[in-house]
Amino acid sequence: MALEDDFCDIVRKARYGLGITLEDAAARAGLAPARLQALEAGKSPTGEEARQLAGVLSLRSGPLAAIGAGGYEPPPVALRFGEWTVTPVFAEDVGAFCYAVATRDGRFTVDAGGGVEQVRAALGGTPQAVLLTHGHSDHVAALGAFGAPCYAHPQLAQEVGGEGLFDGAEILGLRVLYCPGHSPDMLCFRGPGFAFVGDTLFAGSLGRARTPQDYPALLESARRILALPKETALFCGHGPPTTVAAEREHNAFAI
């Protein structure tokens, strides 16, 4: 599976988060503005351009250059964790993943952008609950079609008629982690050997900060995830799953 973010996405996200104009970033990196504009439009960078931009944008030069060269692919991730089974479901109409989760004691889904029938097929029926990582439409658009109680950050729960969850709470065997930055209502859910990280972190990259003022919080939330045990599998809202160990080594952001 292709990465959610390539070189141009990462550079744009970092520049936006830092509040640096294209012209200023180009000047600091010793590039013509037209060249940086081309790189941000998808042109392939040289290794030297990747290193120059990494220094300007507080990114990690080695991982950024590897992604620019198409050289990073996260390792395969298990889908069974003892009594837990995780089934990724890609909702093509919104371009996001939700996850059908089955345990000995329950069956539920994480996020609800679409893929309702696929989730039901994976679980053998309607989920008992829907856990929402955040309220962006590509993660909640099909919530009503799931026909199950939902649980989310208190702000989002009030909007969708669900039950609020706070940092450190436990639900369905998962621990709730509050991870703002991409959105103010972002929750991640940690299970035994895995975590659902929403749009906080992608393989090799991060979600986009809601505003430049939210960028430090996004970085801190990503660091909180990468403080989990290195073997932890990370199931993201977009792109392939990855692991804590892989992202500590290969993520282009300094987290």
Cα separation, 243 vs 232, whole angstroms: 6
Angle, CA 8 vertex, CA 236 and CA 59 arms, to 5°: 75
Q: Are 200 and 229 in a shared domain? A: yes
Q: Are 147 and 189 in a shared domain? A: yes
Which among 46, 38, 36, 42 has a CA at the least distance from the CA of 15?
36
Q: Model-level pTM greater than 0.75?
A: yes
Q: Are 203 and 114 in a shared domain? A: yes
Read off the pLDDT of residues 40-68 as tens digits, 9 standing for 90 and up.
999 999 999 999 999 999 999 999 999 99
Q: Does the residue 117 lie in any domain?
A: yes
**pLDDT at residue 45 in the model:** 97
Q: Are 163 and 121 in a shared domain? A: yes
The CA radius of gyration of the chain, in Å to the nearest whole number, is: 18
**pLDDT at residue 5 in the model:** 97
With a pLDDT cut of 70, the percent of the chain lying above it is 100
H or E, element range at 163: strand 163-164
Read off the pLDDT of residues 133-180 as tens digits, 9 standing for 90 and up.
999 999 999 999 999 999 999 999 999 999 999 999 999 999 999 999
pLDDT at 1 over 90: no
**pLDDT at residue 127 in the model:** 96
Tokens matching residue 238: 């977009």
Q: Does the residue 74 lie in any domain?
A: no
Q: Are 43 and 108 in a shared domain? A: no
Q: Are 52 and 105 in a shared domain? A: no
Q: What CATH code is carried by the domain that includes residue 32?
A: 1.10.260.40
Range 202-224 average pLDDT: 97
Q: What CATH code is carried by the domain that includes residue 225?
A: 3.60.15.10
Q: How many CA atoms lie within 13 A of 189 on its CB side?
A: 27
- Spell out the residues 6+ positions from residue 144 whose beta carbon is closer than 8 angstroms to its own: none
Read off the pLDDT of residues 89-106 as tens digits, 9 standing for 90 and up.
999 889 999 999 999 878
Q: Does the residue 215 lie in any domain?
A: yes
- The count of domains in the chain is 2
Q: Are 49 and 139 in a shared domain? A: no
Last-in-domain residue among 44, 68, 92: 68
The residue range of the domain holding 36 is: 7-68
Burial of 128 (0-12, 13-18, 19+ CB in 10 A): middle
Q: Are 142 and 19 in a shared domain? A: no
Q: Does the residue 176 lie in any domain?
A: yes
Q: Does the residue 189 lie in any domain?
A: yes
Q: Does the residue 30 lie in any domain?
A: yes
Q: Are 47 and 147 in a shared domain? A: no
Q: Does the residue 213 lie in any domain?
A: yes
Q: Are 228 and 169 in a shared domain? A: yes
